């Protein structure tokens, strides 16, 4: 790498212009503070003072140093700085998949908080794989991020204990951590689902289906629990064929929906457990003649423009991220807070699909 540049340096020995001469080192031949100091005719520490805007440098010296910096194209090496200072001014965010419209806004919100605290955000996708989650988290710890926001894929986070003990601030979001005591910021998944299902019951539905994510995911479990609670509150029995938990792949969701919509005692309404599921269920229902009611967990874009509009239990992804990040920096700012569980409320948004009355089979 960079051979071309090096060759230039060697051939045209006096090309002090674009590729100013300098000692050979790694990083593709970058000037260091030492180089700047030599060029400006000052001590190393003086350069450091200028670069970090520390006091105690005459205007004249400062100017000479700045000139040398510009001429050489110097840029401070933060790796060295971090090694000395012990703080990286960066935090990590491990989530499931940045391509999911739920996580984009969450990540952006965390980034904004980090930015306000002068920190950079490094985020990684676990792809819902516990091993990959751990791998990512530990890689971030090796880079000595100051703090960590984690949307857990796995259920056991004991591997984080030494890191937390060593001072890595940690907050879990969206799902609680497993086997470890730590801050966690959640939506009220149970209450939200319960309310959504109760809404369907209030419309007169008695046979209601639930299609959700895999049962090893906390939110899926909480939401199905909310569904069962609402049914029980209303004195309604739940047929096993009405409940389906599993991967959110369109094929599986489609099959699950079609199964509960046919045969004896078909459901007249469906509660879908997250945005991915909702999208597929909408497609299935659009193909059918008899109207079926639908309430989905998570809002979806353009949900208001479909016919009928999609009634949803909405959670605020950005607020989730913001709250977690705020909490993280509270920890980083030295507050010795006992681990806390923060729960954000959800909101039922009626748009039509959830207000469809039951139709006789």
Stretch 73-132 residues interacting with DNA (CB under 7 A): 76-77, 80-81, 83-85
CB nearer to DNA: pick between 15 and 25: 25
Query: Is beta strand 347-349 parallel, antiparallel or unpaired with respect to 90-95?
Result: unpaired
CB nearer to a second copy: pick between 135 and 239: 135
Judged by beta carbon distances under 5 to 8 A according to partner kind, the member of a second copy, DNA, none in contact with residue 361 is: none
Cα–Cα distance list, 300 to 268, 296, 319 (Å): 22, 9, 16
CB nearer to a second copy: pick between 121 and 313: 121
Judged by beta carbon distances under 5 to 8 A according to partner kind, the member of DNA, a second copy, none in contact with residue 300 is: a second copy
CB nearer to DNA: pick between 164 and 260: 164
Provide the minimum distance between the beta carbon of 231 and a second copy in the complex, in angstroms, as a whole number.
29
Q: In what order do the strands lie in the sheet with 120-125?
A: 120-125, 90-95, 147-150, 169-173, 183-187, 341-344
Provide the minimum distance between the beta carbon of 3 and a second copy in the complex, in angstroms, as a whole number.
7
Provide the minimum distance between the beta carbon of 96 and DNA in the complex, in angstroms, as a whole number.
30
- Size of the chain, expressed as the number of residues it contains: 361
Judged by beta carbon distances under 5 to 8 A according to partner kind, the member of a second copy, DNA, none in contact with residue 352 is: none
Judged by beta carbon distances under 5 to 8 A according to partner kind, the member of DNA, a second copy, none in contact with residue 51 is: DNA
Cα–Cα distance list, 65 to 24, 30, 54, 322 (Å): 21, 17, 13, 40
Provide the minimum distance between the beta carbon of 137 and DNA in the complex, in angstroms, as a whole number.
17
CB nearer to DNA: pick between 88 and 189: 88
- Interaction residues for DNA, span 1-30 (CB under 7 A): 25-27, 30
Separation of alpha carbons 18 and 274, rounded Å: 55
3-class DSSP state of 87: coil
Separation of alpha carbons 185 and 103, rounded Å: 14
3-class DSSP state of 270: strand
Name the nearest CA neighbour of 328 among 39, 113, 79, 60.
113
What is the longest distance spanned by two Cα atoms in the chain?
A: 90
Provide the minimum distance between the beta carbon of 330 and DNA in the complex, in angstroms, as a whole number.
23
By CB under 7 A, the count of residues binding DNA is: 30
Separation of alpha carbons 73 and 83, rounded Å: 23
CB nearer to a second copy: pick between 5 and 23: 5
Judged by beta carbon distances under 5 to 8 A according to partner kind, the member of DNA, a second copy, none in contact with residue 14 is: none
Judged by beta carbon distances under 5 to 8 A according to partner kind, the member of a second copy, DNA, none in contact with residue 307 is: a second copy
The conformation of residue 310, written as its DSSP 8-state character, comes to: P
- Is residue 288 at the binding interface for DNA, with CB under 7 A as the rule? no
Task: Pick the piece of the chain touching DNA (CB under 7 A) from 36-44, 101-109, 146-154, 225-233.
Answer: 36-44
Contact 226, 238 (CB under 8 A): no
The conformation of residue 239, written as its DSSP 8-state character, comes to: -
CB nearer to a second copy: pick between 166 and 237: 166
- Interaction residues for DNA, span 40-69 (CB under 7 A): 41-46, 48-49, 51-52, 55-58, 60-61
3, burial (CB in 10 Å: exposed 0-12, middle 13-18, buried 19+): exposed
Q: Residue 284 half-sphere exposure, CB side, CA atoms within 13 Å?
A: 25
E runs forming strands in the chain:
90-95, 120-125, 147-150, 169-173, 183-187, 208-212, 243-245, 269-272, 293-297, 311-314, 341-344, 347-349
Judged by beta carbon distances under 5 to 8 A according to partner kind, the member of DNA, a second copy, none in contact with residue 97 is: a second copy
CB nearer to DNA: pick between 52 and 360: 52
Query: Is beta strand 269-272 parallel, antiparallel or unpaired with respect to 120-125?
Result: unpaired
CB nearer to a second copy: pick between 31 and 195: 31
Residues in contact with DNA by the rule CB under 7 A: 25-27, 30, 32-34, 41-46, 48-49, 51-52, 55-58, 60-61, 76-77, 80-81, 83-85
């Amino acid at each position: 790498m960079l051979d071309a540049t090096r060759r230039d340096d060697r051939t045209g020995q006096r090309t002090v212009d674009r590729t100013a001469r300098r000692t050979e080192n790694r990083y593709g031949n970058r000037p260091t503070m030492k180089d700047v100091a030599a060029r400006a005719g000052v001590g190393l520490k003086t350069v450091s003072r200028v670069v970090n805007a520390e006091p105690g440098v005459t205007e004249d010296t400062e100017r000479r140093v700045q000139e040398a910096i510009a001429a050489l194209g110097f840029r401070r090496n933060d790796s060295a700085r971090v090694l000395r200072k012990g703080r990286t001014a960066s935090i990590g965010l491990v989530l499931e998949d940045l391509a999911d419209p739920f996580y984009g806004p969450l990540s952006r919100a965390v980034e904004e908080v980090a930015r306000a605290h002068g920190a950079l955000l490094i985020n990684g996708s676990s792809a819902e794989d516990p091993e990959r989650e751990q791998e990512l988290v530990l890689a971030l710890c090796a880079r000595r991020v100051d703090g960590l926001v984690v949307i857990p894929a796995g259920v056991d986070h004991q591997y984080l204990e030494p890191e937390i003990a060593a001072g890595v601030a940690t907050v879990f979001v969206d799902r609680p951590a497993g086997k470890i005591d730590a801050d966690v910021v959640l939506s009220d998944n149970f209450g939200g689902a319960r309310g959504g299902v109760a809404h369907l019951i209030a419309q007169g539905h008695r046979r209601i289906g639930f299609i959700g994510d895999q049962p090893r995911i906390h939110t899926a479990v909480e939401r199905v629990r909310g569904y069962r609670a609402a049914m029980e509150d209303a004195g309604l029995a739940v047929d096993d064929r009405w409940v389906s938990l599993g991967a959110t792949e369109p094929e599986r969701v489609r099959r699950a929906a079609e199964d509960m919509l046919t045969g004896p005692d078909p459901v007249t309404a469906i509660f879908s457990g997250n945005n991915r599921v909702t999208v597929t269920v909408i497609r299935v229902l659009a193909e059918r003649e008899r109207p079926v009611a639908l309430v989905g967990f998570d809002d979806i874009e353009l949900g208001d423009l479909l016919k009928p509009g999609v009634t949803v239990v909405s959670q605020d992804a950005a607020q989730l991220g913001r709250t977690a990040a705020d909490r993280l920096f509270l920890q980083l700012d030295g507050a010795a807070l006992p681990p806390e569980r923060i729960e954000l409320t959800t909101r039922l948004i009626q748009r039509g699909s959830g207000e469809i009355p039951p139709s006789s089979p």
